[in-house]
Amino acid sequence: MNISIAQRNRPFSHLPGTSCLLPRTCWTIQAFPTKICCRNRERASSDGYIEIPLNLHGPVQEFTVQQDLENGTVLIWGIAIEGRFRLRLQAVNGAIELWVERAPPSGIVCGDQTLHKNDHHSWKAEGPFRENVSAERLSLGSHRAQDWESVWRRQDFCEIFPVLYHLSQWTPEFSLQAPSEMAQLLDKGFEPFLLAAFFGILCPRLIDDQFQGLLANEQVHPHASPCSLIVDAGERIRSLFVAQKKKEIALLPSNEFDAGRMTGVRLDRIGVLDFEWSKRMLQRVIFHAEHDAEIHLKLPKPLCSFRIRSRMQDKGCRKSIDDRLDLEVGKIYIIDRFQK
């Protein structure tokens, strides 16, 4: 008994030289038709660099780089003079692996090796690595193609927020951070922050090298982390839709988006939450209780009551927003029929 999200977050670009973050790491992948450049962006002072030359010849047609946030990989494909190719980059702890999913009959010469279909090669890659990835997902009702140049031009939060939030689930967390003006820009709103803090497919940066006049001071602390911007943005996006204060759960505290769904939301010492809304009104909430807990739901105005039940076939009972809810471990609770 779940609320599901059909949308798959796989932003892509056809622009040679597009950069994106490799999920689980702080390494960016800059993809060209015949070369791949990997850079460590753990800190402003990081200097890790891996260059992967590909012995392919152009013009390369249908060139595409895709950040697959469903599987935590980066895919690169196209049609070279030699034939079709498709490469997959993924991170294992301490290394970046390049897998060949499709190759011309002659193979792909990668450095000093010739790789054929299902072959792979790896490079050592230092830096933080995210082992456990959260299952929290967000959808705001947009089903447009995730061609990132078009997405970025529109600057529609309904398109950007679900992808950025999903990316934050794959990004290593930092317990200690050096301050940066770019991080402080988030307090001024998402629009200036997004324009200044990202390039390519949501690649983070600490300096606005497009000189948009959004930062007063371009000096950067050498230990500041560009990737921490993604984590900060993910936390801020989450707070727009759900907030927990001990046993008080606030749903849609900002109530800015007309419709959407959020699933797999983990609540500390309570369990997992799914919910959906339409016309800025909650439609359904599902709690998967993992602990015995007494909680209080804080709902957006002007809602004042709802129905709660443990099974779909039950009639359930009506509760006021002032009532406390007793959750039993292992049970599922369905909340719907919200009334003003």
Domain ranges for the chain: 12-124, 137-239, 246-339
Q: What percent of the chain lies above the pLDDT cut of 90? A: 79
Residue 175: pLDDT over 80:
no
CA distance linking residue 180 with residue 294, whole number of Å: 40
* Phi, psi (rounded to 5 degrees) for 163: -70, -45
SS3 29: strand
pLDDT digits (tens, 9 = 90+) for 29-39: 999 999 999 99
Question: 151-189 burial, b for 16+ CB within 10 Å, e for fewer?
Answer: bbeeeebbbbbbbbbbbbbbbbebeebbebbbbebbeee
CA distance linking residue 76 with residue 13, whole number of Å: 10
Say how many CA atoms lie within 13 Å of 177 toward its Cβ: 21
Q: Looking at residue 176, what is its pLDDT?
A: 66
Which of 70-74, 106-110, 324-328 has the least mean pLDDT?
106-110
DSSP H helical ranges for 174-222 = 181-185, 190-197
Residue 52 banded pLDDT, cuts 50, 70, 90: very high
Q: Looking at residue 47, what is its pLDDT?
A: 84
Residue 1 banded pLDDT, cuts 50, 70, 90: low
CA distance linking residue 1 with residue 134, whole number of Å: 19
Q: Looking at residue 63, what is its pLDDT?
A: 98
**Superfamily in which the 246-339 domain is placed by CATH:** Golgi alpha-mannosidase II (2.60.40.1180)
Residue 181 banded pLDDT, cuts 50, 70, 90: confident
Residue 210: pLDDT over 90:
no
Name the DSSP class of 219: -
Q: 10 Å Cβ neighbour count for 336? A: 15
Residue 221 banded pLDDT, cuts 50, 70, 90: confident
